[in-house]
Amino acid sequence: MARSKKPHQPTLNSLSKQDSSSLASEQQTTFARESERALPLLKVMESNELIPTHQVSVDHSDLNEQEILLAENHPSHLSLTPEEETVDEEKNDEFKLTPSKKTSAIEPLDPLTTYLRAIKRHPLLSAEETQQLATQWVKTGEPTIAARLITANLRLVIKIAYEYRRAYKNIMDLIQEGNIGLMQAVKRYDPYRGVKLSSYAAWWIRAYILRFILNNWRLVKLGTTQTQRKLFFNLRKTRSELMARGIDPTDAEVAKRLSVSENEVAEMDLRLAMSEKSLDVPVGNVEGRIISKIDTLISSEEGPETSLAEGEMQALLKEKFAEFRKTLGDREKELAIFDERLIADDPLTLQELGDRFHISRERVRQVEQRITKRLREYLRNELEDFAETG
């Protein structure tokens, strides 16, 4: 069968502010009323681009169209068009959105419950409906179609986010990042490749969630390269698997299994073993004043005595340099080497001085060594401190 011609792919930049605003208004009103921390779904910015309402700078440089690193269950770079795993739209029903316990009208709702109630108003789509809407979105770029595809798959984001709730406590943060991945999936989805939207979106959702966990697991980022991400999500699991098989989980063995270097394994081991310490932790009480750890640290700034001593030494050396210069007489070559090479902030090269006086670089170096030796002897005689440390 001949493949239908692929029309021009629209972008989310083509979404109008008015249409997208109407899409988000209902959800945002609910969230503002029931919980300050409830996650808004969509918001239209001045650029007319449909993006998440939490203000972040999304960098897609390490999430490209060809590869996304999803290392928890597979250490390699996984294709965005997988054939080995599919996520049917109908399977979203397996993840129940009904809260586990009833809440009264006056009982405050937590952000997750508020969010679940809000997205339940958006019905799921069948496989046929999804394919039809995706094709219309590619052809027309109609913002309401893109919004329908996004809202129908919000349950998929929650289901995937729950897989990583042990790695990161705040499930709403994971859902929020997953929603960004879902939007990217809808923006880039090609319905003519024969891959279901939910399967394609699952890779983008996981990629954004995993990257968020990696960047926020510690205050200091644990890794930014693909190798570091692979180690972060697979190192401990690989060691456990080796131990279960009776194999000594050395750095060399782990590196071999994960196709990385031993140094990279050792470095990630060290990073994972270290923990962050707050400098505000109280360590004592002096005369009613609580002393924190930061108060006990030695300041890297110089004290007034040190600054004064250094200033006096600088002035003294400047004075002695001027006196030594007079001993060189009127010999232009030696004066130039002293002024423009030995004590200059931006010294000339041997070649530049050699070209000026029509002598070789070696000859300039010899004259420089002779002047340096004389200067050292002069300072030893003039400065006792210099003689003791020289």
List pLDDT tens digits, range 152-181: 999 999 999 998 887 777 889 999 999 999
Q: What is the largest CA-CA distance in the chain?
A: 98
- 336-341 long-range Cβ contacts below 8 angstroms, 24+ apart: 337/364, 337/367, 337/368, 337/371, 338/371, 341/368
Mean pLDDT of the chain: 72
State which fold the 304-389 domain adopts: Arc Repressor Mutant, subunit A (1.10.10)
Once rounded to an integer, what is the mean pLDDT over residues 238-244? 86
98: left (phi over 0), alpha (psi -120 to 50) or beta: beta
The ranges assigned to domains in the chain are: 110-216, 220-296, 304-389
Identify the top-confidence range among 190-194, 305-309, 329-333: 190-194
Task: Band the pLDDT of 92: cuts 50, 70, 90.
Answer: very low
Tokens of 253: 């063995």
Spatial distance between the Cα atoms of 369 and 154, rounded to a whole number of angstroms: 75
Contact in structure between 113 and 171 (CB atoms under 8 Å): no
pLDDT of residue 269: 76
287: left (phi over 0), alpha (psi -120 to 50) or beta: left
Look at strands 77-79 and 67-69 and give their pairing: antiparallel
Question: What is the percentage of the chain residues whose pLDDT exceeds 70?
Answer: 61
CA distances for 347 relative to 336, 338, 340, 343, 361, angstroms = 11, 10, 5, 8, 14
Contact in structure between 122 and 179 (CB atoms under 8 Å): no
Once rounded to an integer, what is the mean pLDDT over residues 211-221? 71
Cβ neighbours of residue 248 closer than 8 Å, sequence gap 6 or more: 242
Cα 340 from chain centre: 46
pLDDT of residue 327: 86
Using a cut of 0.85, tell me whether the model's pTM lies above it: no
Spatial distance between the Cα atoms of 47 and 53, rounded to a whole number of angstroms: 13
Q: Which CATH architecture has domain 110-216?
A: Up-down Bundle (1.20)
Query: Picking from 113-122, 182-191, 300-309, which range would have the lowest pLDDT averaged per residue?
Result: 300-309
Spatial distance between the Cα atoms of 114 and 123, rounded to a whole number of angstroms: 17
